[in-house]
Structure 1
Amino acid sequence: MPQAARWAGTPFIKGKSESTRMMLLTFSLVGLQFTWGTEMTYCTPYLLQLGLTKSKTSLVWIAGPLSGLIIQPLIGVIADRSRSKWGRRRPFMVFGSFVVAFCLIVLGWTAEIVGLFVTDPDKAKNVTIALAVSSIYAVDFSINVVQACCRSLIVDSLPIPLQQAGSAWAGRMCAIGQLISYMIGSINTVSIFGSLFGDTQFKQMTVIAAISLIAAVAVTSYSVKERVLISARDSEGSAGAIQVISQLYQTTMELPPRIQAICWAQFWAWIGWFPFLFYSTTWVGETYFRYEVPKDEITKSTDMLGEVGRLCPTPILRTVPGQQTLSIHPRPPPGMAAVLKAFTTIRPDLQTAWFISQIMFAVTMIFAPLAHSRAFATTLVAVCGIPWAISAWAPFAFMGVEINKLTMNGASAPGIAASSTRAGVTMITSASLRANAADTELEVLRLNHRDTDSDTDEEDPSSLHSNIPSTGELTGIYLGVLNVYTTLPQFVGTFISWIVFTILEPSATETPKDGDASDAQWMNLDKDKPNAISICLFIGALSALVAAEATRRLRYVS
């Protein structure tokens, strides 16, 4: 009979309380999101400042979906079969974070690096652009390695009752990372640090992002202990690249109905999110300098890129819906108690919350072309922080539950259930689960998180000879498939942006007008022409409406 995967050890997370363990498990996402936030905030205006047109810059951002399409599924399958004594995910997380840090430093100092080898100004400009674009590609490819393993580690480490809470904590940590990115980016770091980390805001942000990513990944890697894979299912641990790609393709083509429905909702949602994430900062900056700042004041700026980055709104601090919430006031005022009690009885489930968030995002971005002031543009972007907080974790929560349900349904055969109820699980458990030990062992989904060195074939022969994968064995590949449906729409978004920018701003930044070579030349400040970015945001809003309908139908898929 085909042999199931065999494991050594049990998952373990340091910490004395469930909240502490959840925080440590997902802490790597703080540094990860800080890095993404820095890239999305500064790299578009940075490339425009170097001399690229908006249409060409939009094509550069194919790096994101391309890296996600290739790297995340591939690294998911490879990590699934890794037999490292340190675990399947953490080695890739640590190595990838150092690669990201190196590429960020190169990105910040492209002009200086090129200046060491090229002296001709025109040639140096072209080489600088090429090196900057290459660095962005390298950052995106390597950070996807880290992201894929961070997400898989959460699913690997948590039982079904805590999958939503784990994804909620992941969303919370992403929100914190993004919040910190905006907060640091909104201050003049050069005036604080001087030239310690570079002489411009962008250079200093790349250094801070590099340090934060390495530190955050180190915290999670130190705090989490993974099971060690002894032998892969059906002895496929030595599968080559062709087999890996074949497995990924086959999995994508034969998705269970609910997982496929989740993926399609994610597909349409990300056509809308793509222009928002990559162009919203530039849009706010252009809106401000186009309508509210006199031209003579603009030409005085010596670090326009830093000023645009500091204009980006600081998102409101929010908690992410889930099984656990943070409470600022343990006891609300008496007048609010009845309102809060009524709210808890009607609060939406996960599917409804995701649906509402997509409607909210669509309605907000429909107004983007009407923004003629920094205050209005800032308000629109800040409001989108609420639907983004839900969209950043809802699909992963759904996927975590569905992945584990597949294992639970398959593990219901005689012998498998018996072996799993005996299995000792070193795992986070909520207070409600601990209240009943017998029910706990059933509710943790028969995770098969057991040490195969201690549980032998003699106890239950069928437990090691089932064709059913243990929990987490296919985590990487299923999350990789979800990432395919997250990255493919980014190609669509890139194509849409390229068309819009080519039509509305075909020659922006190529030739200075009236001999004006100011630092702000890369922005479109013509009040008589439509803002191309706002049109991209509007198109994204229409896609979000399609995503909302796909999410609504998810309830009827079994």
Structure 2
Amino acid sequence: MPSPLAQSSESGRPSVEDTQPAGKSGRKKTVSPIRTPKDDAQNGHRQGDDDNNEHSPLLSPGHEGDAFIGRDSGLDHQEDEFQKTKSVWYLILLTISIGGLQVAWSVELSNGSPYLLSLGLSKSLMALVWIAGPLSGTLVQPYIGMLSDNCRISWGKRKPFMIAGTLGTVASFMALAWTKEIVGGFLGLFGADPASEGVKVSIIVVAVIWVYVLDFAINTVQAAIRAFILDCAPPHQQEAANSMASRMTGVGNIIGYVAGYINLPEIVGFLGDTQFKDLCAIASVGLIITIIISIVFIRERDPRGDGPPPRDQPGVLSFFLKIFKSIKRLPPQTKKVCIVQFCAWVGFFPMLFYTSSYIGEIYVEPFLEENPNMTPEELDKLYEQATRVGTFALLIFSITSLATNLFLPFLIAPSFDTQPLPITDVAGEGPATSIKDLGERGKSWLDYLVIPGFTLRRAWMYSQILFFFSMSLTVFVRTVAAATVLIGLVGITWALTLWAPWAIISAEISKRDALLRAQKRAASPSRHDDDLPTIDGYSDEGHDVTVVEEESDKAGVILGIHNMSIAAPQIIATVGSSIIFKIFQKPRGTPGDHSIAIVLALGGITVLLSAWFIHRIEDNPPVSGDPIGDAEEGEASRPGTAHSGHQYDEPPRRSMERAQLVRNSSFGGGLEY
């Protein structure tokens, strides 16, 4: 094999020549010659210019022609900051907004169905109304993801949509809660009788419209928050960030369900004279406060560094045509997760929306058998109490979910960090400059809690099987206590559902986006194709950086597609539930109505199918090389780049040590912000 060092004919300096075959372009690739300080002086180079063209992928080349943002903008330092390991307080402030959003969701989930039924809507029609949720999720979240990806406001590309969605959510909550008074008062101006059938139908129609507006607004907030978490958490802490988000969701659920269980008109009657009005007011205040905390204390990466947005941004119709094309080129792990979500959410949707009504039907049955001739007023009072009992079951469900989110991360073996980023400060213990630091410090007490082989993927799969068995038993139980236990058990499944898929997808997207930024910084006149990192699933042979970026969908779009895999099956579940209700439901106030239990049991079967697809997801997928970590460690050549022309699996021991170090810094301390 010829020596990799060859003499330059002009300066006598050594240059490194690639001995690999030429790529598709038919030309041999060479690395720029090694420049010495003497050469710099002769050619008029200043030290600052040399720094700007440093080959480290953590630094921007600052090449000419970037007219969108100057080279002195401080983006190089910003990149370093967003790769550092974050403290627990940072993760809390980052994810607290999703807890406030979950308070709003819990109000809609626990009290939305009883509220619509109290207006006179039938179960079959109510099921069709709840198409609003999956429909808005299918349409709104991908489009909001695209719009936020292309946003170039200096203070962040996700925050404007968080604020706008919050304002829409609060307005629609208030309008929905006061629909009866607003519509009745307006029609009363024209002499309409509030008790007439026309007024009742008008109230139902307006309420349904506001349900749709509410769901569209909530999905706007949710799309922005999920992308916000992905953008602001470093790639190696995506699992920790999504675990914290799951915990915040559990806290939000508990707050919402506790508020739904207690008698609010007796405590905060000034907010409204009904339970639903008070709940909507509390959810609105909670959402506003948590959104403000996140956007004030967490700084987003300046999106102007991504360059100007595309000039030919697609319209709504062309955007969704583009979305279907993007589905074909989803990252491999993300594609598998989307298949799992599609199957699972056929079963999750009925459980979330009909649990309080399911528990309530069991609660009212003995009272209806004893007194079958109740007046409408007595039935309303009985079913209001039944809704509170059903909300208590959801509270147990939320407590189980939160407990799972709090303790399960310490038992799960950290996944192999196949694309480790630079190890920075470990909270409370100073900088960790190498993997050896882990061995020198000894094992953390957290390491002894880990169950060997119990990975996040396996925990997710087992939780889906638990859901299937719990929902299968709903058709047999006839007591509130037994039904509450079943709902409480699926809180474990819900905890993993809020954690595992987002962690898997976010880690893959975040690492890929970090490598894309490294590619962009490496694309300077002094860098050649050999220096460009390879991205898992994307080859740089025959492509320049611009083409790679155009072919790689951004985080907002990918998360939008993932949400489509969650929302689309909910439409199937809604239509299926409506058909089953039409066949098996009985009039309100009639004992023996078990139609909801049948819907829950059938949904459990689809969740069992999703467990099989989880089984096919890899714990340690093959990935490309680690340009950032390797550059930090001074490696001249990297497996998985154009030098090798193939992908590889990083040595498991090194990967596990990185994962353990990140795990300890994420969960084991570092409470300073």
Asked if the contact 1:163/1:400 (under 8 Å) is kept, the reply is: yes
The residue number in structure 2 matching 1:540 is: 603
1:19 to 63, 85, 88: 88
Q: Which of 103, 106, 109 does residue 37 from structure 1 map onto? A: 106
TM-score by length of 2: 0.66
Is 2:507 the partner of 1:401?
Answer: yes
Identify the match of residue 566 of structure 2 among 486, 500, 503. Answer: 486
**Residues 1:275 and 2:332 aligned together:** no
Q: Does 1:175 align with 2:258?
A: no
Q: How far, CA to CA, are the matches of 1:550 and 1:4 in structure 2?
A: 45
User: Counterparts of 1:514-529 in structure 2 under 5 Å?
Assistant: 521=589, 525-527=590-592
Is residue 2:401 matched to residue 1:320? no
8 Å Cα contact 2:363/2:386 also seen in 1: no
Letter in 2 for 1:228: D
Letter aligned with residue 276 of structure 1: M
Does the CA-based 8 Å contact 1:73-1:476 persist in structure 2? Answer: yes
Structure 2 spans left out of the alignment, 5+ residues: 1-64, 412-444, 526-534, 536-543, 623-673
Unmatched 5+ stretches in structure 1: 327-338, 420-444, 446-463, 510-520
Counterparts of 2:228 and 2:66, CA distance in 1: 20
Corresponding position of 1:331: none
Whether contact under 8 Å (2:360, 2:383) holds in the other structure is no
2:493 alignment partner in structure 1: 387
Contact 2:464–2:611, Cα closer than 8 Å, also in 1: yes
Cα distance in 2 for residues equivalent to 1:235 and 1:540: 42
Percentage of matched positions with identical amino acids: 33
Alignment match, 2:35: none
The corresponding residue for 1:211 is 285
Where 2:113 maps in the other structure, the secondary structure is: helix
Closer, same or farther: CA 319–282 of 1 in aligned 2, 3 Å: same
CA shift digits 1:394-419 (9 cap, x unpaired):
11111111113433565776973999
Q: Is contact 2:94–2:294 with CA below 8 Å preserved after alignment?
A: yes
Whether the 8 Å CA contact 2:231–2:510 is kept in 1: the answer is no
Aligned residue runs from structure 1 range 495-510, under 5 A: 495-505=575-585, 508-509=587-588
Structure 1 equivalent of residue 167 of structure 2: 98
Q: Deviations along 1:279-306, whole A, 9 cap, x unmatched?
A: 0010001111113676549754654554
Query: For residues 48-447 of structure 1, what are the structure 2 equivalents within 5 Å?
Result: 48-118=117-187, 119-120=192-193, 121-194=196-269, 196-230=270-304, 236=310, 239-241=313-315, 242-291=317-366, 295-296=370-371, 300=378, 303-304=381-382, 306-311=384-389, 312=391, 313=393, 314-315=395-396, 316=399, 317-320=402-405, 344-346=450-452, 348-407=454-513, 416=522
Change (3 A) 1:237 1:93: farther
Distance across 1 between alignment mates of 2:596 and 2:516: 48
Task: Check conservation: 2:364, 2:386, Cα contact below 8 A.
Answer: no
Q: Kindly state the Cα deviation for residue 72 of structure 1 after the two structures are TM-superposed.
A: 0.0
Instruction: Give, in angstroms, the shift of residue 249 of structure 1.
Output: 2.2
Q: Which moved more, 1:409-418 or 1:243-252?
A: 409-418
Distance 2:100 2:478 in 1: 34
Q: What one-letter code is carried by the residue in structure 2 that aligns with 1:539? A: L
Contact 2:336–2:617 (8 Å) recurs in 1: yes
C-alpha distance 203-549 of structure 1, shift in aligned 2 (>3 A): same
Q: Secondary structure of 1:392's match?
A: helix
Contact between 1:69 and 1:483, CA under 8 Å: does it hold in 2? yes
**SS of alignment partner, residue 358 of structure 1:** helix
- Give, as a single letter, the amino acid of the residue that structure 2 aligns with 1:199: D
Residue 337 of structure 2 aligns to a residue whose secondary structure is helix
Task: Give me the whole-angstrom Cα distance separating, in 1, the residues matched to 2:470 and 2:545.
Answer: 54
Letter of the 1:379 partner, please give it. V
Task: Give the 3 Å change call, closer, same or farther, for CA 5–238 of structure 1 in structure 2.
Answer: farther
8 Å contact from structure 2 (residues 463, 493) kept in 1: yes
* Larger RCO (CA within 8 A; separation ≥ 6): 1
Deviation at residue 346 of structure 1 after TM alignment:
2.9
Contact 2:118 2:380 in 1 (8 A): no
Residues 340 and 406 (structure 1), Cα distance of their counterparts in 2 relative to 1, 3 Å cut = closer
**Alpha-carbon distance change, 86 to 234 in structure 1, aligned in 2, over 3 angstroms:** closer
CA offset at residue 498 of structure 1?
Answer: 1.1
| Cα distance in structure 2, aligned partners of 1:98 and 1:415 | 38
The answer on 1:531 being equivalent to 2:594 is yes
C-alpha distance in 2 between matches for 1:138 and 1:397 = 30
Any idea what SS the aligned residue of 2:271 has? coil
1 CA distance for matches of 2:252 and 2:66? Answer: 39
Q: Is the 8 Å Cα contact of residues 28 and 219 (structure 1) preserved in structure 2? A: yes
Matching residue of 1:513: none
Shift of 1:269: 0.8
* Alpha-carbon distance in 2 for matches of 1:179, 1:185: 10
Offset at residue 349 of structure 1 (A): 1.0
Residue 552 of structure 1 is aligned with which of 609, 615, 622? 615
Q: Distance in 1 between matches of 2:305 and 2:385?
A: 54
- Deviation, 1:116, is 1.3
